């Protein structure tokens, strides 16, 4: 019986041979062979538009550029021929550093990939080298799920992580934009961010996040804040239930007196508002006359 062909999800080596990327991982020996390395003008190479990594650490990029000036590019950049240019599949960081180093040409290895394979390679390469911030990683998982109709189990297999890890990563996208940016800027840890997910109100979530940064709060501190907020919300909710029947009774009495729909909306500190509906100008005049008469 023939051995079952290996699918994707065995690490970067399952998509690109080890000698291409110097990454220790399982290999599919039946994968399409790559062309020999060749030198390509750096101006003819462009990054993928769907590259999951959006930010690059300038200090680390400069360190790599300095190394390239001294030793050159040891690993070729993996590209795909798009006719008028070569698209980077793996090695954008090396390409950027090479430009910083002033190189005019870089070694490349030209290969053919499907769009899904390119998305998977970009994600795996960045994750294995810890190049993505938490939000970039979560968005990359989301892209694989939505664009290629994969399940979370399949995405987890592709990146060699547990399904729980992928799920927890994607939950970070439920944070408000401001808190996501704080996470990107390393003002918060992933632990802080996950704890903040318990706060549904986005404005309050951001307010607490700012406290975390300003006061150097721990994850345990956030959990305590959330617990106190939950207690306070429950007390307010219980009090509202106690008084609800009183407002309903008054709503019914005013409705009968005015002959139209009435809503009483209580707020904190014994404040609130009464809404009286009317549907025609004649009805408005009738209700207004009743209210004026009652006031006199």
Which residues participate in catalysis according to the annotation?
92
86-124 residues labelled b (16+ CB within 10 A) or e (exposed): bbbbbbbbbbbbbbbbebeebbbbbbebeeebbbbbbbb
3-state secondary structure 264-296: EEECCCCCEEEEECCCCHHHHHHHHHHHHHHHC
Q: Indicate the angle between helix axes 202-215 and 177-184, nearest 10 degrees.
A: 30
Angle of helix 58-71 relative to helix 92-100, nearest 10 degrees, comes to 70
Strands 86-90 and 105-110: unpaired
Q: What are phi and psi of 215, to 5 degrees?
A: -100, 5
Residues contacting residue 10 through CB under 8 Å, at least 6 positions apart = 25, 26, 28, 160
Give ∠ CA 278-282-287 in degrees, rounded to 5.
Answer: 55
The answer to whether the beta carbons of residues 10 and 160 sit under 8 Å apart is yes
* Of the candidates 192, 223, 233, the residue with the CA atom closest to the CA atom of residue 209: 192
Looking at residue 103, the DSSP 8-state letter turns out to be -
């Amino acid at each position: 019986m023939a051995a079952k062909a290996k699918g994707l999800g065995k690490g970067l080596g399952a998509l690109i041979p080890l000698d291409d990327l110097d990454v220790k991982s399982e290999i599919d020996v039946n994968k399409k062979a790559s062309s020999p390395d060749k030198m390509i003008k750096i101006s003819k190479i462009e990054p993928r538009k769907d590259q999951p990594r959006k930010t690059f650490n300038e200090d680390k990029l400069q360190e790599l550029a300095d190394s390239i000036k001294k030793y050159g590019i040891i690993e070729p950049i993996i590209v795909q021929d798009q006719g008028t240019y070569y698209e980077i599949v793996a090695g954008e960081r090396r390409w950027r550093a090479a430009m910083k180093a002033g190189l005019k040409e870089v070694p490349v290895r030209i290969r053919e990939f499907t769009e899904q394979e390119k998305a998977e390679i970009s994600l795996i390469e960045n994750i294995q080298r810890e190049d993505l911030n938490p939000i970039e990683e979560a968005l990359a998982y989301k892209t694989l799920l939505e664009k290629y109709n994969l399940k979370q189990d399949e995405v987890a297999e592709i990146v060699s992580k547990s399904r729980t890890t992928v799920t927890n990563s994607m939950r970070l996208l439920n944070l408000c934009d401001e808190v996501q940016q704080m996470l990107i800027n390393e003002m918060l840890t992933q632990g802080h961010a996950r704890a903040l997910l318990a706060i549904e109100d986005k404005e309050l979530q951001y307010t607490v996040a700012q406290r975390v940064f300003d006061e150097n709060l721990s994850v345990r501190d956030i959990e305590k804040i959330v617990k106190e907020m939950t207690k306070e919300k429950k007390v307010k909710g219980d009090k509202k239930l106690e008084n609800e029947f009183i407002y309903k009774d008054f709503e019914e009495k005013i409705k009968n007196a005015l002959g139209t729909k009435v809503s009483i909306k209580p707020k904190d500190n014994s404040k609130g508002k009464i809404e009286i509906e009317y549907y025609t100008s004649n009805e408005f005049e009738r209700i207004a006359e009743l209210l004026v008469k009652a006031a006199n």
